[in-house]
Amino acid sequence: MTASKVHEDVATGPGGRIVAIRGAVIDIAFVDADLPEINEAIVIEDPAGGAVIAEVQSHLDERSVRALALQATTGLRRGDAVRKTGGPIKVPVGDAVLGRLLDVTGAIGDKGAPLPETVPLRPIHRTAPPLAQQRGTSDLFATGIKVLDLLTPLAQGGKAAMFGGAGVGKTVLVMELIHAMVAGYQGISVFAGVGERSREGHEMLLDMTNSKVLDRTVLVYGQMNEPPGARWRVPMTALTIAEYFRDDCHRNVLLLMDNIFRFVQAGAEVSGLLGRLPSRVGYQPTLASEVAALQERIASVSGAAVTAIEAVYVPADDFTDPAVTTIASHVDSMVVLSRAMAAEGMYPAVDPVTSSSVLLDPLIVGQEHVDVADEVRRTIEHYRELQDVISLLGLEELGAEDRRIVQRARRLQRFLAQPFFVTEGFTGVPGRTVPVADTIKGCRMILAGDCDDWQESSLYMIGTIEEARDKEEAARKASGQPAVQTPAKEEMKGKAA
């Protein structure tokens, strides 16, 4: 289905003519017709035989508008005909788009068969569900990733964001979450690639196909080489498809967005193209309202939930950046990725101190879970406070209690590292999935001192604490050292009691 086909069934009225083109910004005069409304889609007839979709952004006067092209404007010229569509951009939704790759206008991008003529269409601009219809949720979204399940539990029907600078593992973490949810999650997945590289989009399509989950997934891409308008509106297209499955089909939806910062970045480009004065740090003055218009639509209503997981690029590792703080104000779980931990090889490089979740509450996860998580945070934070002293004077200058805390914090950091399934081809280490109860048990044993005489390497890149014990026993046997003096496996299983 082509972009023009999406609008073919919309009644058209008298048209206009292009009077000026400046890149993606087009000024259009409607001499004998009423002006189209803000956010209304218009179709520019390319003399070469194609059509360019644009969106009205402002009214210049009584007879002219300024529009933003969502596709390349190469070949357009002054005087080209423009026709109104009578409403916002409409994109195909429903079961017909499952397993397909779409662009911002709903056009097919996977070189597959065209969509059927009967496919339903929905406008990409909608209001958020009324507050009275929205419902909260306390159901946990178990991921099998130790550090997430322990310190930043995710909620079904909630919003989680992965914050991190360039090269610290945001996309890999999102990919692992997709893999983790294949087995236990039977709903619909919608992936929005905002400003993605062409290579990343191709890899995602191949991974989805090989893992046999593409038939339950919709891929929506606005790639890095596309105009800013396409990158700016592609999250709206993905969200519209997710809302259809939620509201009309009453099915749970997993919405993944990578990278939501590029949505803000595209909005800043659009704002500059339209001649608006910039606000803080050069961002658009409408930053807060644009982010809110997107995030508030990600909601759960009775009968179905939309669970959102968003990757957020942090420019120059500055977590006080206005875009980052604005996005953070809308999410339930904040997963902060640390460059220092990535440099030490602690993957996933989730910072246990600054990451947080509103679900880490005794009424939701239980008192034991909260107590262990708090103690893990305190231990690692105390270790960080001592790092300068250790660097200057050495570990031997610390008191006995501080040395014990440092040793346990280092073991906790290594235990919370975990091999991923999506990186098996690069590392050669099989991925691990760890239940929440096993994560809590392992952390409690380390905090209690049961692993004080173990090598730190025995706890690195493993799954459960039992696997670490087996690794330690093998290392001791190979070096001729005494066996591990810790509770037997049967006793370890009963530790939770």
Length of the chain: 497
DSSP secondary structure string for all residues of 153-187: --BTT-EEEEEE-TTSSHHHHHHHHHHHHHHH--S
How far is residue 478 from each of residues 163, 482, 483, 488, measured CA to CA in Å? 42, 10, 11, 20
Give the residue from 430, 447, 471 showing the smallest Cα distance to 368: 447
Task: Give the contacts of 388 (CB within 8 A, at least 6 positions apart).
Answer: none
Single out the catalytic residue among 197, 280, 384, 489. 197
Q: Which two tokens stand for residue 45?
A: 């007839």
Question: How many C-beta atoms lie closer than 10 Å to residue 259's C-beta?
Answer: 22
Furthest-apart CA atoms within the chain: distance in Å? 93
Task: Give the contacts of 210 (CB within 8 A, at least 6 positions apart).
Answer: none
Single out the catalytic residue among 84, 170, 231, 246. 170
Spatial distance between the Cα atoms of 466 and 489, rounded to a whole number of angstroms = 7
| Encoded amino acid at 391, one letter | S
CB 153 within 8 A of CB 366: no
Spatial distance between the Cα atoms of 461 and 424, rounded to a whole number of angstroms = 12
CB 50 within 8 A of CB 36: no
What burial letters (b/e) apply to 98-134, b meaning 16+ CB within 10 Å?
bbbbbbbbbbbeeeeeebeeebebbebbeebbeeeee
Q: Which two tokens stand for residue 290?
A: 């644009």
Catalytic site includes residue 197:
yes
Q: Can you list the positions of beta strands (E) in 14-69?
A: 16-22, 25-29, 41-45, 51-59, 64-69
Catalytic site includes residue 368:
no
| Encoded amino acid at 187, one letter | G
Alpha helices in 248-361 (DSSP H): 260-273, 287-295, 322-328, 339-343
Spatial distance between the Cα atoms of 387 and 397, rounded to a whole number of angstroms = 12
Spatial distance between the Cα atoms of 16 and 28, rounded to a whole number of angstroms = 6
Catalytic site includes residue 122:
no
Single out the catalytic residue among 55, 196, 269, 290. 196
Check whether the bond before 348 is cis (ω within 30° of 0).
Answer: yes
Q: Which residues are catalytic?
A: 170, 196-197
